[in-house]
Amino acid sequence: MAQALVRFLANQYVERDGIEQRFFGGCWGIFGHGNVAGIGQALHERPDDLRYYQARNEQAMVHAATGYARMRDRLATFACTTSIGPGATNLVTGAAVATVNRVPVLLLPGDVFASRAPDPVLQQLEFPSAGDVSVNDTLRPVSRYFDRITRAEQIIPAALAAMRVLTSPADTGAVTLALPQDVQVEAFDVPDDFLAKRTWHIERRLPEAAAIVRAAELLGVAKRPLIVAGGGVIYSGATETLRKWVEATGIPVAETQAGKGALPFDHPLSLGAIGVTGTLAANRVARDADLVIGIGTRWTDFTTASKSAFQDPHVRFVNVNVAELDAHKHSGLALVGDARSTIDALAGWTYTVEPAYRDKVERLAREWAAEVDRLYALGHAPLPAQSEVIGAVNEVAGPRDVVVCAAGSLPGELHKLWRTRDPKGYHVEYGFSTMGYEIAGGLGVKMAAPDRDVYVLVGDGSYLMLAQELVTAVQERLKIVVVVVDNHGYASIGGLSRSLGSQGFGTHYRYRTTGSLGLDREGPQGDTLPIDIAANAASLGAASERVRTVSELRAALTEAKRVERPYVVTIETDRYESVPAYESWWDVAPAEVSGLAEVRASRERYENARKSARRHLRPH
């Protein structure tokens, strides 16, 4: 059965706009008794069908697959094979990342014997009240399709269902086919048609004409329209179509994390990032917008600044999205369809904003550019600020190069400050914001786009969580440039904790001090744990150096351009110097009762701030 599955996967293709490509770039895997004799044997016997890539951690291999799939606009991905037990459960976080971000990955965890003969087999969970449950059931809620193959011939409908979901722009995410280890090696009669080349056509669906008319009517009376561009704009390849439409109409564009790059940063109608991590320009325009056109966005809490971003009492939403789930959010007028085709349809209606509105938008965008200049050149001492590190990487990176990030304070600062010049140049995983995605995801990005330089920006906390795929980068001779921003702990959460009255508790890397009250207080500098990230990276086989200043960082990045192997640059930054918020709010609730005055004060501020959160229930 595993042999048939490998041959099937190798023969899957997708086609969009007349361009056909192979869907699976290969198969990541770590072997154990649950897959070595099944999928492992099949990959070994036919190495040309599906190339095998060895990873260090199962979670990381899903991140690599996700990075690859996102970079390829979801038109290609990887399969990931694991053993049973811990190998399989290590997939859960990776699966959640893929599913939350709507990115296809195929997971093939081994499973316990379908025969139940060896019972309990090594690493089997014995679930006392149900015989058909294994640890793989933890993958159900994070998979858009889940199946367990208990008889060999079941692989035929299961594999077809898996491909339907993986290639569906609306339904895609992680797909899990759990493969009991005895079934993997079973023989069965495989129909030739199952193994034949199969092409999945990716449609560009249009909303019904009446819905387009309703949206055009709303736009016709709008005075302060705003487009919020999400990841769907980029996946759909709609950036050029969007640019033409906004130039014809004068409607400004704000971007979500996944949508950043929808317009080049210096386009006069680009307001940049929106929401909690948004620019002053975007957040000001959002506050007063009377019509918000969301295109390919899931409307996350960060995008809407916990539903406080849009304050016009009569604001209405039009949502262009392939997924009904998203198209109906905020009581929006749902345009269920592909971003590019739907923008084309909307562009058939003539509309232009008033000159005063356009002038205001363009002025705000110019003012924001000056703010970025300021933050790039802050000259903070004695340690540089993170914004200066971002500025240095941005200056050295070429226009088509890619920045990769996921968690900590970097994603918010990158969202505000990174100057994106190419639709695929900004790759921040902020759907699940997973510490540890960065290096593994960056590896996948590099595999998908070998002709671009990939700059992974990663905090020390994320680095320590999952850095070992550096070894895989060395193995595959893939050059990624990793910039580790070392502030000795979880600076972002430390700041959040302080703002909530909890004094940064548990967010520094410190020796445990005796007699502590349990409160994490500022201790002497020497208390910081002596972690040498540069030495750690070198020990994994990467070129590695520690730099002290921004000019040393520039020199290191210039050197890294020349070197053809993974290159890690570590720089210490000031943990308390951060880019401010720009008229936005994030709903994180402090305790209603506390013995600490700081917590009580923060609760009071919170009660006040949350009055700005809205419900957006207005029917159409």
Ligand X SMILES: Cc1ncc(C[n+]2csc(CCOP(=O)(O)OP(=O)(O)O)c2C)c(N)n1
Q: What residues line the site for Mg ion (CB under 5 A)?
A: 459-461, 487, 491
391/408 with CB nearer ligand X = 408
Minimum Å gap between C-beta 492 and ligand X is: 3
Which one of the spans 107-115, 183-191, 230-238, 489-497 is the region binding ligand X (CB under 6 A)?
489-497
Beta strands at 567-572 and 543-547: parallel, antiparallel or unpaired? parallel
Choose, by CB under 6 A, the member of 184, 239, 492, 536 that binds ligand X: 492
Residue at token pair 């430390």: 494
Choose, by CB under 6 A, the member of 59, 434, 570, 584 that binds ligand X: 434
Minimum Å gap between C-beta 492 and Mg ion is: 7
Nearest residue to Mg ion, scored by beta-carbon proximity? 459
Question: Strand order in 270-273's β-sheet?
Answer: 270-273, 253-255, 225-229, 291-295, 316-321, 333-336
Which one of the spans 292-300, 448-456, 488-496, 553-561 is the region binding ligand X (CB under 6 A)?
488-496
Q: Spell out where 66-138 has E strands.
A: 77-82, 105-111
365/390 with CB nearer ligand X = 390
Which one of the spans 172-180, 418-426, 428-436, 447-455 is the region binding ligand X (CB under 6 A)?
428-436
Does residue 490 interact with ligand X by CB under 6 A? yes
Query: Per-residue contact track with ligand X, 162 to 191, x per CB under 6 A?
Result: ------------------------------
Minimum Å gap between C-beta 277 and Mg ion is: 17
Choose, by CB under 6 A, the member of 80, 435, 439, 440 that binds ligand X: 435
Q: Which phi and psi angles does 3 have, rounded to 5°?
A: -65, -40
CA distances (Å), origin 223, targets 334, 352, 358, 395, 543: 21, 9, 11, 37, 55
24/490 with CB nearer ligand X = 490
Does residue 459 interact with ligand X by CB under 6 A? yes
Does residue 92 interact with ligand X by CB under 6 A? no
Q: Are 81 and 39 in contact (CB under 8 A)?
A: yes
438/460 with CB nearer Mg ion = 460
Q: Are 296 and 259 in contact (CB under 8 A)?
A: yes
Does residue 405 interact with ligand X by CB under 6 A? no
What residues from 94 to 113 belong to the interface with ligand X (CB under 6 A)?
none
Q: Are 460 and 434 in contact (CB under 8 A)?
A: no
Show the DSSP H helices in 418-530 as ranges. 437-448, 460-465, 469-475, 491-499
Beta strands at 481-486 and 426-428: parallel, antiparallel or unpaired? unpaired
Residue 103: contacted member of ligand X, Mg ion, none (CB under 5 to 8 Å, by partner type): none
Q: Which of 212, 310, 291 is nearest to 251 (CA)?
A: 291
Token code pair at residue 502 = 């909890």
| Amino acid occupying residue 211 | A
Residue 434: contacted member of ligand X, Mg ion, none (CB under 5 to 8 Å, by partner type): ligand X
Does residue 457 interact with ligand X by CB under 6 A? no
Choose, by CB under 6 A, the member of 231, 278, 461, 501 that binds ligand X: 461
Residue 407: contacted member of ligand X, Mg ion, none (CB under 5 to 8 Å, by partner type): ligand X
Does residue 414 interact with ligand X by CB under 6 A? no
Choose, by CB under 6 A, the member of 277, 487, 502, 570 that binds ligand X: 487
Residue 176: contacted member of ligand X, Mg ion, none (CB under 5 to 8 Å, by partner type): none
Residue 492: contacted member of Mg ion, ligand X, none (CB under 5 to 8 Å, by partner type): ligand X
522/604 with CB nearer ligand X = 522
111/486 with CB nearer ligand X = 486
Token code pair at residue 414 = 């990158």
Minimum Å gap between C-beta 309 and ligand X is: 22
Token code pair at residue 74 = 């979801």
Does residue 259 interact with ligand X by CB under 6 A? no
Beta strands at 12-16 and 19-22: parallel, antiparallel or unpaired? antiparallel
Residue 226: contacted member of Mg ion, ligand X, none (CB under 5 to 8 Å, by partner type): none
Which one of the spans 33-41, 161-169, 264-272, 460-468 is the region binding ligand X (CB under 6 A)?
460-468
235/490 with CB nearer ligand X = 490
Apex CA 74: angle with CA 68 and CA 78, to 5°?
45
- By CB under 6 A, the count of residues binding ligand X is 17
Minimum Å gap between C-beta 462 and ligand X is: 4
181/584 with CB nearer ligand X = 584
Choose, by CB under 6 A, the member of 407, 448, 457, 568 that binds ligand X: 407
Does residue 493 interact with ligand X by CB under 6 A? yes
Does residue 470 interact with ligand X by CB under 6 A? no
Three-class HEC string of 4-39: HHHHHHHCEEEEECCEEEECEEEEEECCCCCCCCCH
Provide the terminal-to-terminal Cα distance of the chain, rounded to the nearest Å. Answer: 52
Which one of the spans 203-211, 278-286, 300-308, 490-498 is the region binding ligand X (CB under 6 A)?
490-498
Q: 287: Cβ–Cβ under 8 A, 6 or more apart, which residues?
A: 309, 310, 311, 312, 583
Residue 409: contacted member of ligand X, Mg ion, none (CB under 5 to 8 Å, by partner type): ligand X
SS3 483: strand
Alpha-carbon distance of 468 to 56, in angstroms, equals: 7
Minimum Å gap between C-beta 488 and ligand X is: 8
227 bridge partner residues: 253, 293
Does residue 570 interact with ligand X by CB under 6 A? no
Q: Which phi and psi angles does 47 have, rounded to 5°?
A: -65, -20
| Amino acid occupying residue 210 | A
The H or E element containing residue 388 is helix 386-396
Question: Strand order in 402-405's β-sheet?
Answer: 426-428, 402-405, 454-459, 481-486, 567-572, 543-547
254/403 with CB nearer ligand X = 403
Q: 77: Cβ–Cβ under 8 A, 6 or more apart, which residues?
A: 23, 24, 25, 65, 66, 68, 69, 103, 104, 105, 106, 166
Does residue 440 interact with ligand X by CB under 6 A? no
Does residue 483 interact with ligand X by CB under 6 A? no
SS3 536: helix
Which residues lie near ligand X (CB under 6 A)?
407-410, 433-436, 459-462, 487, 490-493
